[in-house]
Amino acid sequence: MSPSPMLVLALAWLLAACAPTPAPAPRPPSALPNVQVLNPPLVIPGLERQRTLRLYLPPSYAQSERRYPVIYMHDGQNLFDDATSYAGEWGVDETLNQLARTSGFEAIVVGIDNGLDKRMNELNPWPHPEHGAGEGDAYLNFIVEVVKPMIDRRLRTLPEARHTAILGSSMGGLISHYAIQRHPQVFGKAGIFSPAYWTAPLVFAHAERHTPPPTARLYLYMGGREGRGMVDDVQRMHAQLASRPYAPALTLRIVPKAEHNEAAWRQEFERAVRWLYELPN
C-alpha cells in the first residue's frame, strides 16, 4: 500500500527541518593592496588578551620620504575588508585613496580589532550593570603606550597630537571621546560617530571636568534614526562642550535618515576626515 500524499509531504517537511542549515558563503576579501594585517598580534597589558592590528598605508608611502598623520580607529575588522566585517565594511582604504587623488591629503590608519565578547568592556571607561567591568583605561593605555610608540618607531609618522586622530562608532565613539579627554597630549582630533553615551552616564560629568584644549578638534555625528535617546545625548554633549569658556573646535552633524550601521559611517567618514584635518570641501 502506497503512503498517502499527506504523509509524504509531512516526511519531506520533517527531513528538511532536521537537515543542517548550510553555512553562509564567505564574502570575498575586499581590502586594497595597501592594507596589511600586522603579525604577530600584540598583547594588551593588564588584560592579557591578544589583539590584531590592521594597517593602511597611503598610496605614496613606498615612493616617498614624507611623514604622515595617523588616524587610530577601533573595530578594525570592519574598516577595510568585507570578508572580516560584521555587517559591511567602512571602505576606509577606498575613501582615503580617493581623497589622496582629489585633495592630496594622505594619512596612515591603524585599525585595532575589537575584543568580540569583550568589546563592551574594553570600549567603556566605566563599569556597566549589565555588561560588567569598564576596561577603557587599559585599552587606551595599550594604544598610547604600546601601539603608538611601535607605529611611530616603524613608520614615517607625524607623531604630534595635532596630527593624530582617534575615531570610532558606537562604543568606539564613546572611547574616542574619552581618549581625547584622557590623553589630550596624544590625540588632538577625535571622530565621535554615533557615541553610545547611554552605556556610560558618567561621561557627562567627566566631560565637564576634562574638557579637551582649544587646539583639539571634535567631530560629533549621529543618525536621526538611531533612537531619540541617542540623538538627545549627543545634542546634550555638544551643547555642554560648546558652553565651556575655552571650548575645543567642535561640530555636530545629524543625518535625519541615517541608521546605526556601517553603511552610514562609511558615508560620513570622508566628511569627518576633511573637517578634522581642515581640508577644503
Query: What is the pLDDT at residue 9?
Result: 47
- Residue ranges of the chain whose pLDDT lies below 50: 7-19, 21, 23
The helix, strand and coil proportions of the chain, stated in percent and rounded to the nearest 5, come to 40, 20, 40
CA-to-CA dists, residue 168 to 11, 79, 106, 219, 228, angstroms: 51, 10, 19, 11, 21
pLDDT at 30: 85
Strands (E), the chain: 35-44, 49-56, 70-74, 108-112, 164-169, 189-193, 217-223, 249-255
Share of the chain above pLDDT 90, in %: 84
Q: What is the pTM of this model?
A: 0.90
How far apart, in whole angstroms, are the C-alpha atoms of residue 192 and residue 210? 16
Whether the CB-CB separation of 100 and 116 falls below 8 Å is answered with no
R_g over Cα of the chain: 22
CB neighbourhood size of 215 (10 A): 13
In three-state secondary structure terms, 55 is strand
182: closest CA among 142, 133, 151, 231? 142
pLDDT at 87: 81
**Residue 182: which of 152, 137, 121, 148 has the closest Cα?**
137
Q: Is 200 exposed, middle or buried (0-12, 13-18, 19+ CB in 10 A)?
A: buried
How much is the pLDDT for 27? 75
pLDDT at 7: 46
Inter-residue contact 111 to 55 (CB < 8 Å): yes
pLDDT at residue number 29: 81
Domains of the chain: 26-276 (3.40.50.1820)
Residue 86's pLDDT is 84
pLDDT tens-digit map of 78-120? 999 999 998 889 999 999 999 999 999 999 999 999 999 999 9
Q: Name the nearest CA neighbour of 30 among 79, 96, 101.
A: 79
Give 23-40 pLDDT, tens digit per residue: 455 678 889 999 999 999
For the four alpha carbons of 149, 150, 151 and 156, in that order, the dihedral sign comes to positive
